[in-house]
Amino acid sequence: MQGRDPPAASEPERRIYRAYLLRCWAEPCGAETVWRFSLETVSEPGRHGFADLSTLCMFLQGELDDQPEITRTTDATVVP
- Residue 72, in any domain of the structure: no
Give 33-59 pLDDT, tens digit per residue.
999 999 998 888 889 999 999 999 999
SS in 3 state form for the chain? CCCCCCCCCCCCCCCCCCCEEEEEEEEEECCEEEEEEEEEECCCCCEEEECCHHHHHHHHHHHHCCCCCCEECCCCCEEC
Give the residue numbers spanning the domain of 53: 20-67
**Is residue 79's pLDDT more than 70?**
no
- Residue 74, in any domain of the structure: no
- Residue 1, in any domain of the structure: no
- Residue 42, in any domain of the structure: yes
Give 6-39 pLDDT, tens digit per residue.
555 555 667 778 899 999 999 999 999 999 999 9
- Residue 12, in any domain of the structure: no
Which is more confident, 3 or 48?
48
Q: What's the total number of domains in the chain?
A: 1
